[in-house]
Amino acid sequence: MRLFIAIELPEQVRNALAGLRCDIHGARWVPKDQLHLTLAFLGEVDDDGVARLTGRLSRIHAPPFTLRFGESGCFPGRRRPRVLWVGLEHESRLLHLAAKVHAAVTDSGMALEDRPFSPHITLARIKVPRPEEVGIFLDRHLQKKLPSLAVREFILFQSQLTPEGAIHTPIRSFPLAA
Strand ranges for the chain from DSSP E: 2-8, 27-29, 36-44, 65-67, 69-77, 80-88, 120-126, 149-151, 153-162, 165-175
159 binds ligand 2AM (CB under 6 A): yes
165 pairs with which residues across the strands? 162
Choice between 107 and 113, CB closer to ligand 2AM: 113
Distance CA 76, CA 153 (A): 29
What does DSSP assign to residue 19? Answer: T
> Which residue number, 16 or 74, has a Cβ lying nearer to ligand 2AM?
74
> Cβ 177 to ligand 2AM, closest distance in Å?
25
Active site residue 120: yes
Among 1, 21, 29, 38, binds ligand 2AM (CB under 6 A): 38
Rounded to 5°, angle at Cα 2 from 19 and 76: 50
Write down the H helix ranges in the chain: 11-18, 47-58, 92-107, 131-143
The answer to whether residue 36 is catalytic is yes
Told to check if 41 binds ligand 2AM by CB under 6 A, we report yes
* Residue number with the smallest Cβ distance to ligand 2AM: 41
d(CA 65, CA 163): 37
Q: How far is the CB of 32 from ligand 2AM (least distance, A)?
A: 14
Report the C-alpha gap between 61 and 175 in whole angstroms.
9
Nearer Cβ to ligand 2AM (157/174): 157
Number of residues interacting with ligand 2AM: please give it, by CB under 6 A: 6
Q: Least CB distance from residue 113 to ligand 2AM, whole Å?
A: 6
Residues binding ligand 2AM (CB under 6 A): 4, 38, 41, 113, 122, 159
